[in-house]
Amino acid sequence: MIRIRIVLYSSSLVLNLLIITFLVSNADESDNIAIYWGQNDNEGTLTETCATENYSYVIIAFLNKFGNGTTPEINLANHCDPSSDDCTKLSTDIKNCQRKGIKVLLSIGGADGDYGLASTDDAKNVSGYLWNKFLGGNSFSRPFGDAILDGIDFDIENSNGKQQYWEELAIFLKSHNTSTQNVYLSAAPQCPFPDGQLGVTLDTGVFDYVWIQFYNNPGCDYSQRVINDLLDSWKQWTESLMTGKVFLGLPASPAAAGSGYVPADLLCEIVLPVIRMSSNYGGVMLWATYYDKQSGYSNSIKSSLCTQQKAHECGGNDCHQKVDGKLNQEKVLHEIGGNAVISDKARSIEIDGQEKS
């Protein structure tokens, strides 16, 4: 049990949550950011994306056809034409990113596509394909040339609610770990818990990163200036996942998703100080590169200066927006599950949270 006590000797009830950011012992001042790349012609090259140095992970999206007898197929918008081996030119870009210490993963699945696994043998075959074509294996033809990706991302959204064999695929992929290469696995479940596609698969405990999609999911994403649903869902996820780092998945601009966009100032002042208290907090995942390029959202996260006093750092977002126009002490504490104890001489705030080993 972590008990944090903050005593404010001001008569004001306005709580400056940056104090919490400073005092919480396991708060990470430098948030890792994961970003999806590959689905918009105007997002720039992979090399340009990594050159911003805002991201720790870049996820190439998508391999959206595979399994069940389907010929595997990559869809990267107009970045390259896989049918003519044109995507081999990405080899240089991938290596450029990796030289900067950025992990590059391939996302399989997506919202649109033709994919699924028919059996354990099918899962094993898909694992072999991914290992030999994109990871550390060998193949006469490799879609991205001789570049060796760091891992595979599971963005399973379109398999008719069937969870069969995804866990086998994950375990088969992890079995390819060698003394020279670790196959990193990530997953992008929807925020309703448990995820209908990957719930069983995540229980395997083999995933290194889980970036939960807190968008396009009314009921557990941020909407109408209400953050309770998001924080409650985050708590449920982080307390249930025993392995790996958990990332808050968000749209990088209002145009990036139908719901779930969190204004940058609210993210920096309220959401991040709270979720950083989770022992398995990993950072923020953004959808996607094009929208981040337009909004500058990742700049706001990296700078941690998105406040009223630093409005110009918010990448064009409205930095003056507050929850119901003000940050009230009791309201914020209610939203983060704490209790306010206000004395005559001092304003004492106790926030209780649990730390997992």
Residues annotated as catalytic are 157
Q: Quick one: tokens of 333?
A: 């504490």
Determine contact, residues 185/207, Cβ cutoff 8 Å.
yes
Question: DSSP string of 166-200?
Answer: HHHHHHHHHTT--SS---EEEE--BSSSS-TTTHH
Q: What H or E segment, with its residue span, contains residue 104?
A: strand 103-110
Question: How far are the Cα atoms of 192, 247, 267, 294 from residue 273, in angstroms, in the given order?
Answer: 22, 14, 9, 25
Helix and strand numbers, DSSP H then E, in the chain: 12, 13
Nearest CA among 126, 142, 125 for reference residue 134: 142
Question: What values do phi and psi take at 129, rounded to 5?
Answer: -60, -50
Task: Please write down the HEC assignment for all residues of 123-151.
Answer: HHHHHHHHHHHHCCCCCCCCCCCCCCCCE
Q: Is the peptide bond before 256 cis (omega within 30 degrees of 0)?
A: no
Question: What values do phi and psi take at 74, rounded to 5?
Answer: -95, 140
For β-strands 184-187 and 209-213, DSSP reports them as: parallel
Taking the C-alpha atoms of residue 123 and residue 236, their distance in angstroms, rounded to an integer, is 29
Taken as a whole, the chain contains a residue count of 357
Q: What H or E segment, with its residue span, contains residue 49?
A: helix 46-51
Which long-range contacts does 142-145 make (Cβ < 8 Å, 24+ apart)? Answer: 142/88, 143/74, 143/82, 143/85, 143/87, 143/88, 144/87, 144/88, 144/90, 144/91, 144/94, 145/88, 145/89, 145/90, 145/91
